[in-house]
Chains A and B, each alone.
Chain A
Amino acid sequence: MSQTTMVRPAGGTASDKIDPAAVLAASRPNLRRRLTNQITLGVVILAVVMTAVPLVSVIWASVERGSARLDVALFTNSMRGVVGQGGGLLHALMGTLLVTGATALIAIPLGLSAAIYLTEYGGTSKLAGLTRRAVDIMVSIPSIVAGLAAYALFSLLFGPGTRSGLAGAAALAMIMIPVVVRSSEEVLRLVPADLREAGLALGAPRWRVIRRIVLPTALPGLTSGAVLGVARIIGETAPLLLVAGFTDAMNYNLAEGRMATLPVFIYTQWSSKGLDTAAYDQRAWAGALVLMAVVVVLQLGARALPTQIAKIRRNR
């Protein structure tokens, strides 16, 4: 094959792999090479299509089956007292925002602080090594296991079968903390050491250097990391089903009582229906559309934020 004549056996550094003489000799690709090139192009296009088809199908299904309920009532009503048709998902949307907010309030300060310790203080200390290893392990906690752990903790503290928004937030925080630590650590490492040293050389204490120089420099990256962490957990269903429970009424209290969330709302609308099944299906798919929209807004935000922050800075 022409390809084998072109290249030496693999090994050594990557730049060694291309033999200039061989490539020159074959500078006009023969039919076989051109054909291979075309076929692989086809495969790449096929891959794009294979990715797009399920996405289009999911969105199409949600729009087709859920758009009938994308009305104002969906966003201004809960399900309390609703029988069959009507009702809305305000309680679930509120619950998702509260639980996700509480998760972010636990995970972002804790994760960011740990990342600051790892990059700015810990270095090679024993504790830093321990924390890094813990983060590596936490990354691979399956979400349902996080739910079980939160269940075990809260049933120990408040009796078996306790359900609350806070328990849901605790489960989700276990998933989000390692994401925040990793992304923050990566971003903080990118802050040039010169900046820190300049600050320290002026006699500023370390914490002021971090607060005034390191964090502001890293801010765009830190925010987008945090937002992506939130996007990662906002669609989680299984742990919330286990520990946050389900209600059809508004609940603003994270610490007490069951709290509905959008993924659980979608699941229960699908799984427990009345006779008028269409009404429940429509609410489920409309809920899916709303949840996807929330995540997309978050992701767009994560993308736009760094440039926006930079722009605001420049203008100042």
Chain B
Amino acid sequence: MKLTTGSKTAALIAAAALTLSALTGCAQNEEPADPGTDNTSSQTETSLSGELNGAGASSQSAAQEAWRGGFASAEPGVTVNYDPVGSGSGREQFAAGGLGFVGSDAPFKPEEAQGGQGSCAAGSPLVEIPVYISPIVVAFNLDGVEALNLAPTTIADIFTGKITNWNDPVIAADNAGTQLPDVKISPVHRSDQSGTTGNFTDYLAATAPSAWTFGETEEWPLDGGEGAEKTQGMVEALTAGQGSIGYVDAGQARALSWASIKVGAAWVAPSAEGAAKAVAESQLESGRGPGDVVYELNRTTTADGAYPLILVSYLAACEKYEDANLSGMVSAYFKYVTSEEGQQAAAANAGSAPLTSEVGLAAKVSAAVERIGS
């Protein structure tokens, strides 16, 4: 008995010593880079340093991870933080003045974007740019079926509970040649408020107004059905549930089967290029300032290859800050995010559509970014 408590204590002390030795130093990956390598790199601009805090939409978090990783090697002196607290909390914090920039699935209202945000210099309007464009896939789990064609009204009828079985004639009519099993459909929705739900319902409201009468809403408007917390909860539900169908950011739905949606008369499978194309096919929202690049998404586009069921997430910052260093950091970060390199990094880690693939879009965005601190 004595022996065991003795050895227990010894183990405790050993564990404590180990932990302490690990904690005395900084994290290995955060140790300042060797100054020698800094000089050799092509850093001719005045290098920035400091901490840049952002927060907001969780949909961007994988892309933000890629941007911060890439930006850290471009500007080693700057630490960028991004807290995926959610768009609403992010916008509220930005308005209160606690953030350098904010990520949001929904843009600021035009009057909010004209000024009065606590983080900005007095009277400074906002710069808002679409940075994260990602297809939302209608994903399903059905044994023996790997691809489906689903028209907007069919999707709406499935999610409102009008179509309840996979062998429904309406589905069969669009999927000639596919053996549809006699399995009940279990539609899954997000139980937390989310931009994905907002974009999905916006798409249904625009393309199937007679079947989907609930308009655009970030909170699922119907009772019943399966609810899942966060994107990952949705993915788990779809992975586990035979006969389930849901809507997921494409990057997180790699293991699931995807439906093609009807655009005009054609069936279009989700793709990054189609998503970027759908944005390019959309008009800028009117009544906004020159730095406020907000799209009125054209969900009913019939352009060849466009995939209009997309999520567009924005980054917002100020044109002018009180603090010049902060202004420089935001400007540099936004330039990196919207660069070819930044957009490709996001595409590699999050599966988003690089906005640089659409020339007109990229030009508008970089013109807006130039306004920061100018």
Contact = CB atoms under 8 A, between A and B. Distances in A.
B42 interface: no
Interface in B1-41: 5, 8-9, 12, 15, 19, 22-23, 25-30
B28 A273 contact: no
A2 interface: no
Nearest to A94: B23
Contacts of B343: none
Interface string A260-286: 000000001011111111000000000
Nearest to B85: A245
Contacts of B348: 275
A275 B92 CA distance: 29
Interface in A298-316: 300-301, 304, 307-308
A161 interface: yes
A250 B68 CA distance: 15
A81 B72 contact: yes
A271 B231 contact: yes
A91 B69 CA distance: 16
Interface stretch (A22-30, A70-78, A175-183): A70-78
Interface residues of A, number: 45
A101 to B, nearest CB: 12
B98 A274 contact: no
Given A97-B23, A271-B232, A273-B62, A81 B68 contact: yes
A160 B93 contact: yes
Given A272-B62, A273-B252, A297-B15, A91 B83 contact: no
B251 interface: yes
The main secondary structure of chain B at its interface with chain A is: helix
B294 interface: no
B89 A80 contact: no
Contact of A87 (B29, B51, B89, B118): B29
Given A80-B29, A80-B30, A304 B5 contact: yes
B27 A91 contact: yes
Nearest to B350: A274
Interface string A223-256: 0000000000000000000000111111000000
Contacts of A268: 61, 84
B69 A297 contact: no
Nearest to B7: A304
A62 interface: no
A151 to B, nearest CB: 11
B29 A275 contact: no
B301 interface: no
B32 to A, nearest CB: 12
Interface centre among B15, B28, B350 (most CB of A within 10 A): B28
B81 A161 contact: no
A288 interface: no
Interface centre among A76, A272, A277, A307 (most CB of B within 10 A): A272
Given A80-B29, A248-B65, 20 more contacts: A76-B27, A77-B28, A77-B29, A81-B72, A82-B29, A83-B66, A87-B29, A161-B55, A161-B93, A162-B98, A246-B84, A248-B68, A248-B81, A249-B30, A249-B79, A268-B61, A273-B232, A275-B350, A297-B12, A304-B5
11 contacts: A90-B27, A161-B93, A245-B83, A248-B81, A257-B53, A271-B231, A272-B58, A272-B61, A272-B231, A274-B66, A300-B12
Interface of B: 5, 8-9, 12, 15, 19, 22-23, 25-30, 51, 53, 55, 58, 61-62, 65-66, 68-70, 72-73, 79, 81, 83-85, 89, 92-93, 96-98, 118, 230-232, 251-252, 254, 345, 348-351
